[in-house]
């Protein structure tokens, strides 16, 4: 079964069940994260804990950046989404269902933007890991060689997408049929709104890097690719 991020967006009923169970865990495919100890926002959608400590990605991404990015921006999207869907049928739906139902609808843009940003950011945190980066191995490496020619050509294409995205957005490695591809999306847009399967992502909104790199987006992207990409997460998404 393909890993999804709907497990991360617990509704209120599931959250209460988790708390009462005490030893329950929150899972994403083969990934296991600590259970949510308390609601992170008043409403059905809550954030999972980060899969590492705030300072674990330093010096590439500082604890200060994580504090604002995860604690303020990511949390802010969840809080706003809860406000927007309160009392509506969407309060009991998964993030994926909300994203697909609202994509491209001008009158529901606010719901789409906040739901997609909750999903995108959760996927981003899991696309990174301490002491990651470099070349992948195994089947994923074979897919990259088949799709791009070799790792260096993939890296150049991904870097071009990430640094060339005008304004805020995301760079993605996706599975596209029988090959892999690099794509980019603006603002809150996400591959799952276009029936594409993401394997990993890098956030290129300014709040992802400005405290550490100021306007040097290219330096941030290079550092993430070389030191933080979570190829194990990408490999699980490839086969899931």
Confidence check: pLDDT of 32 > 60: no
- Establish how many alpha carbons lie within 13 A of residue 185's alpha carbon, considering only the half-sphere containing its beta carbon: 21
Q: What CATH code would you report for 138-239? A: 3.55.40.20
Provide CATH code, domain 6-126.
Answer: 1.10.287.990
Please give the span between the terminal C-alpha atoms of the chain, in angstroms, as a whole number: 6
Nearest CA-CA partner of 204 in 157, 156, 170: 170
Is 219 one of the annotated binding-site residues? Answer: no
At 240 the pLDDT is 77
Q: Is 74 annotated as a binding residue?
A: no
**Could you give the residue range(s) of every CATH 3.55.40.20 domain in the chain?**
138-239
**For residues 215 and 210, what is the distance between their CA atoms, to the nearest angstrom?**
6
- Decide the pairing of beta strands 197-203 and 169-176: antiparallel
pLDDT, average across residues 27-46? 43
CATH 1.10.287.990 domain locations along the chain: 6-126
Which residues does residue 201 pair with via DSSP β-bridges, in sequence order?
Answer: 172
Q: Which of residues 33 and 63 earns the better pLDDT score? A: 63
Task: Check the annotation: does 150 bind a ligand.
Answer: no
Please write the tens of the pLDDT for every residue from 115-151.
999 999 999 999 999 999 999 999 999 999 999 999 9
Question: pTM for the whole thing?
Answer: 0.83
Q: For 166-198, what is each residue's pLDDT tens digit?
A: 999 999 999 999 999 999 999 999 999 999 999
SS3 (DSSP) at 102? helix
- 206 pLDDT above the threshold of 70: yes
Q: Is 194 annotated as a binding residue?
A: no
What band does 42 get if pLDDT is binned at 50, 70 and 90?
Answer: low
* Local confidence band at 15 (pLDDT 50, 70, 90 cut-offs): very low
Q: What is the chain's mean pLDDT, rounded?
A: 86
**pLDDT > 70? residue 8:** no
């Amino acid at each position: 079964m393909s890993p999804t991020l709907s497990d991360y967006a617990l509704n209120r009923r599931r959250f209460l069940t988790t708390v009462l169970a005490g030893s329950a865990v929150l899972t994403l495919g083969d990934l296991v994260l600590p259970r949510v100890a308390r609601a992170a926002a008043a409403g059905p959608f809550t954030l999972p804990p980060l899969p590492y400590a705030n300072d674990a990605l330093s010096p590439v991404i500082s604890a200060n950046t994580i504090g604002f990015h995860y604690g303020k921006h990511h949390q802010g999207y969840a809080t706003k989404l809860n406000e927007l869907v309160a009392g509506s049928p969407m309060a009991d739906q998964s993030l994926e269902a909300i994203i697909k139902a609202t994509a491209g609808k001008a009158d529901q843009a606010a719901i789409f933007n906040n739901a997609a940003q909750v999903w995108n950011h959760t996927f981003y945190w899991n696309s990174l890991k301490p002491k990651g980066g470099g070349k992948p191995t195994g089947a994923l490496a074979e897919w990259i060689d088949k799709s791009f020619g070799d790792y260096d050509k993939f890296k150049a294409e991904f870097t071009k997408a990430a640094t060339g995205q005008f304004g805020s957005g995301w760079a993605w490695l996706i599975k596209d049929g029988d090959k892999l591809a690099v794509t980019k999306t603006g603002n809150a847009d996400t591959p799952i709104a276009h029936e594409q399967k993401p394997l990993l992502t890098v956030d290129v909104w300014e709040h992802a890097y400005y405290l550490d790199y100021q306007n040097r987006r290219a330096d941030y992207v290079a550092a993430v690719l070389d030191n933080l990409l979570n190829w194990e997460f990408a490999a699980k998404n490839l086969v899931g």
